[in-house]
Structure 1
Amino acid sequence: MRSPAPGLLWRARLRLAGLSLVVMGALLYAAGLTMGRLLLQSQETAIRRELQTLAGTLHDSLKPVLPRDAVPSTSLAAVLPGLCLAGEVCRPAPDLLHRHAISATDPSRYKLRVLDHQGALIARSPGDLPVESTPETLGWSLSSPRGRGRWGTYAIHLHHSNGSGEPIWGYLQISRSLADLDAEAERLWWLGHGVFLLAMVAMALASWWLAGLAMAPLLEAYRRQEQFSADVAHELRTPLANLLALVEAEQSASAATPNGKAAPSLDRVLAQGRRLQQLIADLLLLASLERPCLQSQKQSCDLAEITADVLEDFGETAAAAQVSLEQAPWIASARVLGVESELSRLVINLLSNAIQHSPAGAAVMVGLEQRGREIRLTVRDRGPGIPAAEHERIFDRFTRLDPARSRQEGGTGLGLAIAQAIARRHGGVISVQSTHGAGSCFCLAVPLADSTHHGEQRA
């Protein structure tokens, strides 16, 4: 099935697919981000519990054997083998047995610091300690020393078992590098975004397919409506032509009578019949314009020449309406690719609309210029103008901002709809700039024809 309005329906399908893609992508991204954060948070919680357990084990092991005074001493070194006393040169443990004498068996993963109750350092693990938490920071804390990544620290009180009430002997801090957790987070970030991009590509294809399925009934209904309009117009054209022929014959017969006058009712019937005939012709033209134009039907046309011919033909019409036609900035040649008869009808409709809405004594300005790779035709009138809320609606079918005047002038309300349909068939668009009470300016922007195509057409 060929769409009767491929450009508009393609854009509608694209918007529907894009909207569903954005919604599904946002939900997928939010779900993935939440799952990733929950996973990393669970791993961080496991590390915190690990440090908490290790700190509790060390506390229970050290409490009965801690020396009475919390100061660096040989007795403390005997209790905590493998740690370096404050103020002394830190040497590695002489053998494997001493290196594993305390629960913090992996100095590359864990760092210990023992402080007195005032926060002064007593002993620490070998190597550079990146974490310098204050003793008041009990429990879990995070720090990011410059150039050392993130570290997690768990701090508890050390109690002395001698004396009453187990007084506070000092503080124990156990730190662990979170480099492995951060590396896992980075891997998860890249992996998650890679999977997300692949999923977005798959969802884009699925959204486009689903949008096509969703719009299929609408396209079929639109096609049937257009076909119905065309069929009705075809069916009405023949009996209407016969009816007008009979009315014209009756009018001629009445004119041949002795008084030489036809009945006024015949004139009204003939006028309304011709108006209906024009409406049918416009409907058939609109139905044909809704079908895409084949490239083989297009040829190089001079829009400047077409517009000049239309202005010349409209000279008498403008004079009868007491409106003058004037040229604004004008270029001698404006080559575009299209169907000459359709472009001529487009200019006719724009000019007819401007003359119809211009007061007596006003001027209609017609301009033609090139801007980049576009040809712009402007038709400016000095009429009553168009309210801003009606700028888009005036291109709809059977739209009349002043119904009484349109009927008086014989308009069908399809002129601007036909003009916009022709513009879209030629890859262009018609826009309007208007202020209520200060006139309107209709601007046609159509692509400039390719010079290589000119040569092919001339050949």
Structure 2
Amino acid sequence: MLSKPAPYARPFWLTRWRLTALYASTMGAILTATAIGFYLAMAQDHRREIDHRLETVASTLHDSLEPSLNQPGQLTPLVLQILPDLCTTSAGCSAPPDRHVLGLLHQQGYYLRLLDLSGQRVAIAGDPPDQVIHPTGAGLHTLHKADGATYRQMSLPLKNAEGIPWGYLQVGSSLEMLDQHLSWVRWALLLGLPLALGLVWAVSWWVAGLAIRPAYRAYRQIQQFTADAAHELRTPLAAIRLSTESASRDKPMATTEAQGVLQVVNRQTQRLTTLVNDLLILSRLEQADDRSAPTQVCMPDLVKDIEEEFSALALTKGIHLTTVAPDAKTLTVRGHESELYRLLLNIVGNALEYTPKGGHVTIRLTPRDRYALINVEDTGIGIAPPEQAKIFDRFYRVNPDRSRHTGGSGLGLAIARAIAQAHGGDIQVKSVVGKGSCFTIQLPRAT
């Protein structure tokens, strides 16, 4: 999570809120549409099932009753045998049998009605609603009672054995169970959907934080980098300005004094040039599209060149510089030779700088599976554990006074890591204060 926003970080918080609103609204719309679609599909499926049952029962009864019918509007004993639980308008209701041809009518909510040609009730079974669909209204209908109860009814015309119209058959079912079930589903969706949307909002806030964190971190790094670069540039520029102002205010200077001023200006100009060149290198490494095509780099030759480069400095400081590469005579890395040279130059240069007289610096080249390992070991002053994670940061110096005295810009190790990472590798450091350090460079081998 991001910390409480400072004024400069407020745009990132606004962006996070906008991302959260975008994610949450999108997911909320999808969830709402899905919930509505689920409810409508489930309701339609249940109604289709009820309609299918009514059509099946009505068709079965229709086919069973028509051969048993005689005079229009009158029931025959055979009809009463087929449906012994009918309540007729003349004889009333008989006792329900143990079983009959359609046990579905005994289920709660189902009913049957027989009507004559004028629409008058001849017989009923079950508990039909008071409303009667006119006989001409054959097919499926939805009925509504005054108390709000809803029924679904199937109506079919009946004929006797001679094909003469006899009356009408109505089979229906109460939709109370379905309405209760759909009401429960609606409440579940109405209560569950806000909870789901709340969870979506929380997750969207977390995801937006993850999405914006790299940009925020890069922004902070740019801010820190700008501040550090300004600080590094200010020192030599101030020295140059003071020297030139001093020279312009004084009387005509002697040759010795003029040479001193020029030496200060030249020295500070060199520091500025080194700093600008290092910044350009870092910028180029971060823009992969601007780099040239990589080539095969022979690492033993490169390490040998580094040893020759520093041999005079090591001899002057009284440091034993050695190279060990017993099993790496043909070890190659695919990359840019000038950049890899700069990588080793910075690491070995640092090792020599912080190793006292009589110490040892060893460059060890070893093939390891798919990688080339380069260990630069020294017996120098070492690096304290809290500072080991910071030494690859730009402009960070373990000993600022000493680094500035030697002309260092504080970008050497940052450039080294950037080069290693640009080649698909990395740099790690292990160090013990007072005993020395070991920098391990890991680079992918050329296939």
Q: Give the TM-score, by structure 2 length.
A: 0.48
TM-score, length-normalised on structure 1? 0.47
Larger Rg: 2
